Amino acid sequence: MTLALSWIAAPLDEQVTAVAELLAAAADTDGVAPISEAAALRLHHPGTTVVQHLLARESTGRLLGYAELDERLQRRTAEFAVHPAHRRRGVGGALLAALLDRVPGPLWLWAHGEHPAALRLARQAGLTRQRELFQLRRALAGPIPQRALPERVALRAFVPGADEAAVVQVNNRAFSWHPEQRRWDTGELAVREAQPWFDPKGFLLAVDPAGELLGFHWTKMHPGGLGEVYVLAVDPDAQGSGLGVALTVLGLAHLREQGASQAMLYVESDNTAALHTYQKLGFAYHHTDAEFLRP
């Protein structure tokens, strides 16, 4: 098989369509999305030269594999996928080799759902497992615990065009330690507000008597009755008040009202406090996304 690899800063519409079809086929076969939502959004909304797309095609032009390299903030991170019909033909190895060749220093690589082929390639390349992101789920048919908001805290829905700056500020303060989430700006929100799933009624804001934002729970509905604790953030000055748990259960109740039968969320495997809280709220382990590092 003759394989052609090409780097592209801004994919054409037909290339985006081909990649989206490949990713959908991989997700359908594996039961887990092969790349993160953030990477998929960057594919559909290009506009930065620090994100590069790698296409692996055979001589006929058919797309066999895809990779994205995010070079922001010097923490270069890559994600890649191979079409299920063209696996075990060296495509994944070629993508990984091209990524490693392009980045001379440290490179982080995701293996979503701990796919066996991705784990095998990581071992062969001498990558070290550095991070695990757990997906947890819980059914919404049973009782949802009740937790009151802290005294003098009110709940309201997000207002598009008015609340973006405050949300970004709280998000970045709450996730100052997080490799990806700390990077948000109003552009990140704008891209997501333009998605078909966006619903401001499911974007719950907790404010103090002066109207200052203390925290928020952004929920998301997926097809098939799956709801998500999409982003849950509490400003550091408001942490320890029980606001995070109260926002969580209010968001779960909203998802159930929207028809969700299950709820999911992501949490770092070493965040023991958050894991304990979510387990008390009925969440259980579903799968792991592992991140590897080439030093």
Decide if pLDDT at 48 tops 60: no
Output Rg (C-alpha) for the chain, integer angstroms: 20
Question: For the segment 198-212, what is each residue's pLDDT rounded down to a tens digit?
Answer: 999 999 999 999 999
pLDDT of residue 295: 85
Amino acid present at 199:
D
Which residues lie across from 6 on neighbouring strands? 55
How large is the average pLDDT for residues 212-222? 98
Domain presence at residue 142: yes
pTM above 0.85, yes or no: yes
Give me the CATH number covering residue 178: 3.40.630.30
Over residues 117-133, the mean pLDDT reads 96
Q: Which domain holds residue 183?
A: 137-287
Average pLDDT (274-290) is: 96
Residues 192 and 218 in one domain: yes
- 258 burial (CB, 10 Å; 0-12 / 13-18 / 19+) is middle
Give the least confident one: 72-81, 123-132, 166-175, 236-245.
Answer: 72-81
pLDDT tens per residue across span 220-271: 999 999 999 999 999 999 999 999 999 999 999 999 999 999 999 999 999 9
Of 61, 92, 126, the one marking the end of a domain is 126
Q: Are residues 113 and 153 located together in one domain of the fold? A: no
What is the reported pLDDT for 272? 95
What mean pLDDT is reported for the chain? 95
Q: How many domains does the chain have?
A: 2
Q: Is the pLDDT of residue 74 over 80?
A: no
**Within this chain, do residues 94 and 195 fall inside the same structural domain, yes or no?**
no
Nearest CA to 50 among 73, 16, 17, 80?
73
Beta strands (DSSP E) in the chain are 3-8, 51-58, 63-70, 77-82, 107-111, 128-139, 154-157, 203-207, 213-222, 226-234, 262-268, 284-294
Does 121 lie in the same domain as 183? no
